[in-house]
Amino acid sequence: METVSVVLSVRNEELKIERTLSSLGWADEIIVVDNGSTDKTADIARQYGAKVIRSNNNLMLNVNKNLGFGKAKNDWVLSLDGDEVIPPELACEIKKSVHNSQVIGYWIPRKNILFGKWIQHGLWWPDKQLRLFKRGMGEFPCKHVHEYLVVDGPTAELTVPMVHYNYETVSQFIRKMDEIYTENEVASHVAAGYRVVWYDAIRFPMSDFVKTYFAQGGHKDGLHGLILSMLQAFYSFIVFAKLWEQEKFIERELPVEVVEKELVRAHREVRYWMLSAKINEARRITKIIWFKILRRFSTI
């Protein structure tokens, strides 16, 4: 009989962790790595029978996740965050799937609930996560925040999604963006030898917006999709601004004509992807042809 340990790495999650822990009654072991919480997170975890491991808060979050993996005693490990929930249907699928001796790890789709709504397009769905793996056969590389587990062997996919109660307020998005995610992304850029080029102040956010809103279908999520795409663009702009800060706010004169040229280029990019979205959604062949003609001339 294959057994499963669930490992969570959390900090100050007293308002959310009970929802997560209450969905794990099927697990054979629950390990909570508490990263210096100052609230009741650890107490709540113990009430649900979790083994709590105290650790210092680490900006590279996945370091402490790996610490938890090393403490697991069962055959399989499921890595979760403190704002994720395992529905009963997924729990059943996990318990059946761990008996497959040909697979080392499983990807699980994730439903992201943002600002009270399940976001079904863009980078938010199906948002497959490699989270379930044989003990001792997987770990996080710990090179940057947004990374997947690496497992030593073949993987497969589960079909039932976990639920991620992601950003609930705009302030929460901005706080995490500033304190965690952009800091780590800046560090990755610096390590890769990136040097600030002025036009990236426009290209970074513009590229992320058109990718999220048009190319990945964020526009299909209504106002939520527009706001999230704008926030993603803002995130990329802050990454650039912090990279500029790393170079001591280096000065450069920018004639209006130079900036205008870059904005015209950005406008063409937006129009190209906007027309591409219309092509993908058009049902009549005449409209498809017309949009393709417009798109061809949009880059001139």
Judging by DSSP bridges, how do beta strands 84-85 and 162-165 pair with one another? antiparallel
Chain centroid, CA 135 distance in Å: 24
Q: What is the pLDDT of residue 131?
A: 97
Same domain, 136 and 223: no
The lowest-confidence range among 49-53, 104-108, 183-187, 212-216 is 183-187
pLDDT higher than 90, residue 122: no
Same domain, 117 and 29: yes
| Structure confidence at residue 123 as a pLDDT band (50, 70, 90) | confident
Same domain, 26 and 153: yes
Q: How would you class 194 by CB atoms within 10 Å of its CB: exposed for 0-12, middle for 13-18, buried for 19 or more?
A: middle
| Structure confidence at residue 297 as a pLDDT band (50, 70, 90) | confident
Same domain, 149 and 48: yes
pLDDT, mean of residues 107-118: 97
Same domain, 269 and 151: no
Give the Cα separation of 93 and 87 in Å (integer). Answer: 10
| Structure confidence at residue 144 as a pLDDT band (50, 70, 90) | low
pLDDT higher than 90, residue 98: yes
Give the Cα separation of 190 and 246 in Å (integer). Answer: 9
**Could you list the residue range(s) of the whole structural domain that residue 230 is in?**
170-298
User: Rounded to two decimals, what is the model's pTM?
Assistant: 0.87
Same domain, 26 and 107: yes
Same domain, 160 and 219: no
Q: Which residue has the tokens 């959604």?
A: 281
The residue type of 172 is: Q
Contact 70, 137 (CB under 8 A): no
- Give the domain-ending residue among 117, 138, 165: 165
For the chain, how many structural domains are there in total?
A: 2
The lowest-confidence range among 59-68, 118-127, 259-268 is 59-68
Q: How would you class 167 by CB atoms within 10 Å of its CB: exposed for 0-12, middle for 13-18, buried for 19 or more?
A: buried
Mean of the per-residue pLDDT values for the chain? 93
Judging by DSSP bridges, how do beta strands 150-151 and 138-139 pair with one another? antiparallel
Q: DSSP alpha helices (H): ranges in 23-127? A: 41-47, 62-71, 88-97
- Virtual torsion, Cα 107, 132, 118, 44, nearest 10 deg: -170
Tell me the CA distances in angstroms from 53 to 72, 74, 128, 201, one per residue in order. 11, 17, 28, 42
Same domain, 157 and 174: no
pLDDT higher than 80, residue 134: yes
